[in-house]
């Protein structure tokens, strides 16, 4: 068993192949966090400091012992009410308005397999792949029980955490805060987080943790472009290949907050969970509230190993369905080819060009439904505009399929325009505050997915189209943040944002169950909802609306810390780029897009003969390397924010195949030599360049690096395939 309870010491030991996590039950029934780090068989006893700390309160049970204070002890679930004045993970208000609880250990269970969460995404596993620890805590006065859930994936070095709050009393309670916590009793750390904006997401930032709170989060109702619900706490000296680091990834797609703070005793607390600003969840008697899951992982071999742990857990135990581990079809999307100006003729011509170039799928983006010639009307009316298309959708798809091209379609199910039949008939279906004019985003409003009847209505429209047409791909978009949080039927507005996510997940689960052969791609103006929660339903997410290859180097670099390449929607687009105006070589655009699901976002009919030939070769190359790119281990070889070259590597698990890719971001007069150093090669082996036949010593490559052939040209790219000579 990888989970043990040492009764003599009252310590739980959770073990993975390379890490150990220990929880202690103190004499008063509080749960203390004792250890998380490198694997050990020894128990973390005698490590806690006890002293009379001024202005740090003591539990009543401790009597005259002023050295015992929850304000300075590391805890598993710090909550408001036990004397801890630090940032807490759980805040409960009772029906009288009193805030606070007193949760103590009651019992525990250990069993094989992984726990499941009702209505929420979570990592899954067979009985031989994971184990579960459930610790029950109870507040006797409130008659509230909290079950702490731990899932241990030993082979992947991942421990999952969640909790279920059960109201067993006679009155309602209100949950104001719900999160997971990691406490560290000493150490100097950096917080690595990922900030951004629309069209420039997940910029990596490293900040020294001091005696202040560093907070990231989203108040937008989504995980957001501005911050990502993934954080890393690393030793100050940690690099890609060396040092200790800890990750927390939130398996949730709504608002969140993450806080890291060093306290008065130089202890560090890391918390990640639900956004608390608009959370006051009314929990009725005999009801349960499920706190979304957090994926924890530890590495003492640097950031690359930590990323590898997350890549594996997400690919193998978050993503599901037909396309979980399968290579995705190379597609062309109509958006940057024609925007709203689409019809059957231009789509069929686009499909014809795609077939000639070896592209496998055509995706019809926005503009095909209702009154939809721009982004000011039509959302909510998911009825095919056959007059605009010029023929029935099924007939157009048949013509495209006859060319050997699959067909995909764009939806934005969560949104509604005021200029739509849906809004005219059901204005209460939108999240709007009575008596106030709504704040618009992209001239659209958000549908109230906290109401099952709204979810049912939109689902029925979408299902009708899917049932009557041969559709093999859906791009699920969401193009504004949630602002007015008011449901016209909710008993308590503090429930709305959480219940909205339950409604969204229910909708997505229906699509997954009823249309298992359809490839679902998530999108929210690009990467505005790029999180592990969405990946449970959509095995890939459009990484960013910014398709500029040079900007994408940074966006995809930041994304790679917590998410696998197979989840990254990435396309080659036209130049000058529609977001930046930058011109980059077609070869370079292809190299960058290949570190993702790969496709095209341009009008193929406007390409020259030479450009078409390049694309034919790109498609062939990608199909040849797709398995290595998706299944291989991914390494970041440089930091594109601070280096003249952006370089990365895909290497097979056995080290036999290597794909090195790089883009030169700068060119200068009298250019200095540029080297990239691969990692993970088999020491002592010889590797051969499959194009040139040149042989390289693995040890020399990993120590000195490979010299890149620089020319007098902007944004040169490199794609070097090496095979180990056995």
Which phi and psi angles does 415 have, rounded to 5°? -120, 160
Distance CA 130, CA 140 (A): 32
Other Cβ atoms within 10 Å of 114 Cβ, number = 21
Among 373, 509, 611, 631, the active-site one is 611
Rounded CA-CA distance 339/384 in Å is 17
611 annotated active-site: yes
Residues 110, 133: contact at Cβ < 8 Å? Answer: yes
- Torsion angle of C-alpha atoms 565, 569, 571, 575, degrees rounded to 10: -110
d(CA 59, CA 74): 15
Choosing from 26, 190, 414, 531, which is the catalytic residue? Answer: 531
Cis peptide before 343 (omega within 30 of 0): no
Size of the chain, expressed as the number of residues it contains: 726
Which of 46, 22, 17, 24 shows the shortest CA–CA distance to 36?
22
For tokens 């790029």, what's the residue?
A: 530
* CA–CA gap between residue 432 and residue 439 (Å, rounded): 9
| Contact by Cβ (8 Å): 212, 62 | no
Nearest of 323, 328, 215 to residue 569 by alpha carbon: 328
Beta strands per DSSP E along 432-533:
445-446, 473-476, 519-522
Instruction: Give burial (CB, 10 Å; 0-12/13-18/19+) of 196.
Output: buried
Residue whose entry in the numeric block shows the structure tokens 């068993």: 1
Q: Return the bridge partners of 288, or none.
A: 166
* 3-class secondary structure, 571: coil
Check if the beta carbon of residue 553 is closer than 8 Å to that of residue 640. yes
Whether the CA torsion 235, 238, 243, 248 is positive or negative: it is positive
Q: Measuring CA to CA, which residue among 319, 274, 226, 220 is closest to residue 563? A: 319
| Coil, strand or helix at 91 | strand
The answer to whether 201 touches 177, Cβ cutoff 8 Å, is no
State the catalytic residues.
Answer: 531, 611
């Amino acid at each position: 068993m990888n989970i043990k309870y040492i009764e003599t010491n009252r310590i739980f030991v959770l073990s993975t192949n390379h890490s150990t996590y220990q929880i202690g039950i103190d004499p008063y029934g509080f749960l203390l966090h004792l250890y998380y780090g490198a694997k050990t068989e020894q128990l973390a006893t005698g490590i806690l400091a006890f002293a009379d700390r001024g202005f740090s309160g003591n539990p009543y049970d401790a009597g005259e012992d002023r050295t015992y204070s929850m304000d300075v002890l590391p805890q598993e679930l710090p909550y408001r009410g036990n004397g801890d004045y630090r940032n807490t993970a759980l805040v409960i208000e009772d029906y009288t308005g009193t805030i606070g609880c007193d949760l103590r250990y009651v019992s525990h269970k250990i069993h094989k397999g992984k726990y499941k969460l009702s209505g929420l995404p979570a990592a899954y596993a067979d009985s031989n792949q994971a184990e579960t620890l459930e610790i029950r805590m109870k507040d006797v006065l409130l008659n509230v029980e909290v079950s702490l859930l731990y899932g241990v994936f030993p082979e992947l070095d991942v421990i999952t955490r969640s909790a279920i709050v059960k109201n067993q009393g006679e009155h309602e309670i209100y949950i104001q805060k719900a999160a997971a916590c990691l406490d560290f009793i000493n150490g100097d750390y950096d917080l690595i987080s990922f900030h951004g904006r629309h069209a420039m997401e997940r910029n990596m930032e490293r900040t020294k943790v001091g005696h202040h709170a560093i907070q990231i989060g989203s108040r937008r109702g989504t995980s957001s472009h501005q911050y990502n619900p993934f954080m890393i706490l690393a030793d100050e000296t940690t690099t890609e290949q060396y040092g200790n680091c800890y990750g927390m990834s939130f398996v949730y797609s709504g608002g969140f907050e993450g806080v890291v703070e060093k306290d008065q005793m130089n202890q560090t607390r890391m918390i990640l969970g639900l956004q608390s600003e608009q959370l006051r969840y009314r929990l009725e008697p005999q009801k349960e509230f499920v706190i979304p899951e957090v994926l924890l992982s530890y590495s003492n071999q640097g950031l690359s190993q930590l990323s590898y742990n997350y890549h594996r857990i997400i690919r193998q135990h978050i993503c599901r369905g037909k396309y979980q581990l399968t290579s995705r079809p190379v597609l062309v999307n109509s958006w940057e080819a024609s925007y709203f100006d689409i019809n059957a003729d231009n789509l069929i011509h686009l499909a014809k060009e795609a077939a000639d170039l070896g592209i496998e799928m055509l995706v019809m983006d926005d503009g095909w439904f209702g009154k939809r010639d721009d982004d000011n009307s039509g959302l909510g009316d998911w009825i095919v505009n056959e007059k605009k298309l010029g023929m029935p959708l099924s007939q157009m798809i048949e013509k495209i399929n006859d060319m050997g091209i699959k067909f995909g379609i764009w939806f934005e199910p969560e949104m509604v325009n005021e200029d739509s039949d849906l809004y005219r008939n059901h204005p209460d279906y939108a999240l709007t505050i009575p008596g106030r004019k709504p704040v618009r985003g992209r001239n659209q409003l958000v549908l109230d997915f906290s109401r099952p009847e709204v979810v049912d209505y939109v689902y029925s429209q979408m299902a009708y189209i899917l049932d009557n047409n041969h559709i093999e791909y859906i791009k699920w978009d969401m193009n504004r943040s949630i602002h007015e949080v008011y449901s016209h039927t909710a008993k308590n507005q503090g429930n709305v944002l959480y219940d909205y996510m339950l409604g969204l997940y229910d909708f997505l689960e229906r699509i997954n169950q009823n249309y298992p052969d359809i490839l679902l791609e998530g999108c929210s103006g690009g990467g505005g909802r790029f999180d592990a929660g969405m990946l449970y339903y959509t095995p890939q997410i459009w990484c960013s609306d910014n398709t500029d290859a040079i900007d994408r180097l940074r966006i995809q670099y930041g994304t790679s810390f917590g998410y696998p390449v197979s989840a990254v929607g990435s396309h080659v687009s036209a130049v000058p780029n529609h977001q930046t105006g930058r011109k980059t070589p077609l070869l370079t655009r292809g190299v960058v897009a290949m570190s993702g699901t790969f496709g095209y976002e341009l009008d193929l009919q406007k390409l020259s003969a030479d450009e078409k030939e390049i694309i034919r070769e790109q498609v062939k190359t990608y199909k040849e390397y797709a398995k290595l790119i998706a299944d291989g281990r991914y390494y970041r070889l440089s930091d594109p924010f601070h280096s003249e070259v952006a370089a990365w590597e895909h290497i097979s698990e056995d080290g036999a195949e290597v794909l090195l890719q790089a883009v030169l971001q700068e060119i200068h007069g009298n250019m200095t030599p540029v080297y990239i150093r691969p990692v993970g090669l088999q020491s002592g082996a010889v590797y051969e360049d499959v194009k040139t036949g040149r042989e390289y010593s693995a040890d020399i490559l990993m120590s000195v690096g490979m010299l890149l052939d620089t020319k007098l040209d902007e944004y040169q790219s490199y794609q070097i395939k090496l095979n180990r000579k056995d």
